[in-house]
Amino acid sequence: MTQPSAVATELGRNFLAVAEARAAILDGLSPVSGWERAAVRAALGRVLSADVIAPYNVPAHDNSAMDGYAVRATDLAADTETAVAVVGTAFAGRPFSGIVGAGQAVRIMTGASIPAGADTIVVQEVTRREGERVFVPPGQKKGQNLRRAGEDLAEGSVALAAGTRCGPAELGLIASLGIAEVSVHRPLRVAFFSTGDEIASIGRPLGPGEVYDSNRYTLFGALARLGCELLDMGVVPDRPEALEAAFREASEAADVIITSGGVSVGEADFIRDMMARMGEVAFWKLAIKPGRPMAFGRIGKAVLFGLPGNPVAVMVTFYQFVQDALLTLMGVSPLPPAAHFSAGARFSLRKQPGRVEYLRGRLQRDGSTLSVALAGAQGSGVLRSMAEADCFVVLGEDCTQVQPGDTVYVQPFHGLL
C-alpha cells in the first residue's frame, strides 16, 4: 500500500486536501480474497466476485411488445386499409401453435411469442375488428412492435460484471436469467470501538463529566447498511494496556478497524501513540471541517481508520473517506461517483479558505428549483444537525462566503438505491 506517512510528508504541508487523502487511502487497497455462493435474495448488498453470464437469450423468444395482431407485412397494402382473417390467439405463456398464412392474422397479447409466419405486430388501438376479420390501416412497418430474442441479453454475454454490488435491479436480472445462486465476495469484517474515559455506554446513569457513546451507534448504522460483519468492541478507556489489547484483538479478528476519538493531540490521547507503536499509521490533519484529525494505516493485516471523536466529524470522515475504502475492500469496482448536484443557498455564511466544509443541509424543491437551508446548529458535536439534515452542503477550499441565492454543491444522503 502507499505509505500514508510518505504521502503526508511528501506533500510537505500541514493539511492534507480531500482528494489527496482519498487517493492515498484508495491507492493501496484491494478486495479481500475469499468468496462464497449466495442465493438470489441473500445476494442483496453483496458484491459479485465473478461475472454473471447469460445462460440463454433474454428474451428467450421473439415476442410481442404490445397487445394487437400478429400479421405478415407482405399482406398489407401500402396506401389502403387491409382486411385479414383472424385465425387464433397467442397469449403470453400460451403460444399460437399454427402458422400464420397469407391474408391471416393472430390476435396477440404483450409478451406472447410471435407465431410462425408472422413478422409484424399491429397495435390493437389502430385496428377495426369485424367478426373474424380485422382491418389494418396503411403505414405499418415490417418488424414493428417486436422484441427480439436476445435483445436484452445475448446468450453467453456478461449480464453483470464482477465488482457489481447487487441492488434490487441486479436481483431481478439474476432471477430473469433463471440463476438461483451467484458468487459473491465474503463479507468484510469490521471491528470498531469508541475511546475516551468520559464515554459511557447506554444502560447506566451518566457520571460527572461523562457523555453517552453515540459514535458506536452511528458507525453501527453505517456499517450494517454496507453489509459488513461487525465486531462491536464497546468503549475502550484511555489506558495504554486496554487500548493495546483492543487493537491486538481487533487486528487479529478483522479486516478493518475503525475507532473514534483520541487522534488529536489532547493530553489523554494515548491512542495516537498506541496506533503509531503497533502499526504503520499516519496522522493526518485533513483540510476539512468538521473532522480535521484522522489516522490511517495498518495494524497487522487490518486497515485502520482512527476517526475523530466529535460525533458529526465521525460521520463526515466516514462518508467522505471510509465508505469508499470499505466498498473497495468489499470488491466494488468501479466505485460509484459521489452524487453531487447544485442548489441555491438559503443561508449566508463566512468561511475560512483552504479547507472544505461539510455543512448539514435540508433540501427544498419548488417546481424545478432546488434550494438548501442549513439544518440547525453546525457545531461538530451537534449530532442533531445530521439527524435533521438530508444532505451535506459542500463548500470548496476557495469559498470564503455564501450569500442567499448562491449556488452551492450538495451531496444527498439518500438515493433510490
Residues within the interface to Mg ion (CB under 5 A) = 196, 261-262, 309
Can you say whether the dihedral through the CA atoms of 144, 147, 153, 155 is positive or negative? negative
* Contact call for residues 364 and 346 (beta carbons, < 8 A): yes
Comparing every residue's Cβ against ligand AMP, the nearest one is 309
| Residue 310 vs 378, nearer CB to ligand AMP | 310
Candidate residues 28, 111, 117, 266; the one interacting with ligand AMP per rule CB under 6 A: 266
| Residue 198 vs 406, nearer CB to ligand AMP | 198
| Residue 48 vs 235, nearer CB to Mg ion | 235
Q: Per rule CB under 6 A, is residue 306 in the interface with ligand AMP? A: no
Alpha helices in 181-258 (DSSP H): 215-226, 240-253
Q: Per rule CB under 6 A, is residue 198 in the interface with ligand AMP? A: yes
Rounded Cα–Cα distance for residues 220 and 23 (Å): 25
Q: Which stretch binds ligand AMP (CB under 6 A): 79-87, 102-110, 192-200, 282-290?
A: 192-200
Q: How far is the CB of 207 from ligand AMP (least distance, A)?
A: 13
CB atoms < 10 A from the CB of 191, how many? 24
Candidate residues 115, 262, 290, 331; the one interacting with ligand AMP per rule CB under 6 A: 262
| Residue 31 vs 196, nearer CB to Mg ion | 196
Name residue, grid cell 367478426: 131
Q: Per rule CB under 6 A, is residue 385 in the interface with ligand AMP? A: no
Candidate residues 110, 176, 183, 214; the one interacting with ligand AMP per rule CB under 6 A: 214
| Residue 285 vs 346, nearer CB to Mg ion | 285
Candidate residues 150, 163, 291, 311; the one interacting with ligand AMP per rule CB under 6 A: 311
Q: Residue 379, CB half-sphere, CA atoms under 13 Å: how many?
A: 7
The DSSP element (H or E) to which 388 belongs, if any, is helix 383-388
* Contact call for residues 258 and 191 (beta carbons, < 8 A): yes
Rounded Cα–Cα distance for residues 66 and 109 (Å): 6
163, β-bridge pairs:
none
194 binds, among Mg ion, ligand AMP, none (CB under 5 to 8 A by kind): ligand AMP
Question: Which of 40, 32, 53 lies closest to 331, judged by CA?
Answer: 32
Q: How far is the CB of 386 from ligand AMP (least distance, A)?
A: 13
Q: How far is the CB of 260 from Mg ion (least distance, A)?
A: 9
213 binds, among ligand AMP, Mg ion, none (CB under 5 to 8 A by kind): ligand AMP
How many residues of this chain bind ligand AMP (CB under 6 A)?
Answer: 17
Rounded Cα–Cα distance for residues 138 and 103 (Å): 15
Q: Per rule CB under 6 A, is residue 308 in the interface with ligand AMP? A: yes
| Residue 64 vs 259, nearer CB to ligand AMP | 259
Question: Which of 141, 146, 144, 154 lies closest to 114, judged by CA?
Answer: 146
Question: Which of 337, 287, 324 lies closest to 23, judged by CA?
Answer: 324
| Residue 237 vs 412, nearer CB to Mg ion | 237
Local structure of residue 81 (DSSP, 8 states): -
- Which grid coordinates are listed for 34? 475469499
| Residue 291 vs 309, nearer CB to Mg ion | 309
Segment 324 to 383, residues that bind ligand AMP, using CB under 6 A: none
| Residue 163 vs 306, nearer CB to Mg ion | 306
Distances from the Cα of 151 to the Cαs of 60, 75, 123, 173, 266, in angstroms? 9, 26, 20, 14, 63
Q: How far is the CB of 314 from ligand AMP (least distance, A)?
A: 8
CA diameter of the chain: 93
Interface contacts to ligand AMP, rule CB under 6 A: 194, 196, 198-199, 211, 213-215, 260-262, 264, 266, 308-311
